[in-house]
């Protein structure tokens, strides 16, 4: 299927509502991925996101080795993959291969795109603060694409179809319920 490409200054709309993402990385040999709940847009142009990633994770080490990643957007259909990736470390070998999590090459970065997701933001690391500085990893978007139909004609994520995972803590997630449209006051 032909993917829909998103204008970089609009790709914040994939993550503006706070879904948990799967961040895929590479150490130059094997791919890896882990769920990150703590991710937020911080700029439109250049499009940038901040992610809180523990330096204890293989993911952090991978970002030091290959400063690129993909922010993969999973939905409730990928809950199994999210839980596997979030409860094992890539240090124990290729987590994706072990769990049979399918992926395919990205267009501009070395880490792969995960097939179980509905949108993919390929990015490069622009700031990887030392862990003791206790601040987020900042990434800049290179390309953003989604499955056809994931966005409404008005250009918003169609959360009636794309049921993203919103982490409540532990093993619990909320799913998007409804949308409302505000009226701009005169």
> Residues in the site for ligand FMN, rule: CB under 6 A?
20, 32, 34-38, 52-54, 57-59, 86-91, 95, 167
CB nearer ligand FMN, residue 12 or residue 151: 12
In whole angstroms, how close is the CB of 50 to ligand FMN at the nearest point?
11
- Smallest gap from residue 124 Cβ to ligand FMN (A): 18
What is the three-class DSSP state of 77? helix
- Identify which of residues 2 and 134 has a Cβ nearer to ligand FMN in the complex: 134
The least CB distance from residue 176 to ligand FMN, in Å, is: 16
Nearer to ligand FMN among residue 80 and residue 161 (C-beta) = 80
Judged by beta carbon, residue 54 or residue 179, the one nearer ligand FMN is: 54
* Alpha-carbon dihedral angle through residues 178, 154, 40, 116, given to the nearest 10 degrees: 80
First to last CA, the chain: 43
Question: How far is it, in rounded angstroms, from Cα 119 to Cα 59?
Answer: 20
The kind and range of the H/E element at 60 are helix 58-65
Taking residue 18's Cβ as centre, other Cβ atoms within 10 Å add up to 16
CB of 88 to ligand FMN, least distance (A): 6
- Provide the 8-state DSSP code for 27: -
């Amino acid at each position: 299927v032909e993917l829909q490409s998103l204008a970089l200054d609009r790709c914040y709309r994939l993550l503006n509502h706070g879904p948990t993402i799967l961040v895929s990385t590479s150490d130059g040999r094997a791919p890896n991925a882990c769920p990150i709940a703590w991710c937020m847009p911080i700029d439109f142009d250049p499009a940038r996101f901040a992610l809180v990633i523990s330096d204890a994770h293989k993911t952090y080490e991978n970002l030091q080795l290959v400063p690129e990643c993909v922010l993969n957007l999973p939905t409730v259909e990928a809950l199994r993959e999210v839980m596997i990736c979030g409860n094992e470390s890539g240090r124990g070998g290729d987590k994706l291969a072990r769990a049979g999590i399918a992926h395919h090459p990205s267009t501009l970065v070395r880490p792969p795109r995960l097939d179980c997701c509905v949108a993919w933001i390929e990015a490069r690391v622009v700031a990887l603060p030392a862990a003791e500085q206790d601040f987020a990893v900042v990434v800049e978007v290179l390309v953003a694409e989604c499955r056809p139909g994931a966005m409404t004609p008005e250009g918003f994520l169609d959360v009636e179809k794309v049921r993203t995972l919103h982490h409540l803590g532990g093993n619990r997630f909320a799913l998007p319920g409804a949308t409302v449209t505000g009226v701009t006051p005169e």
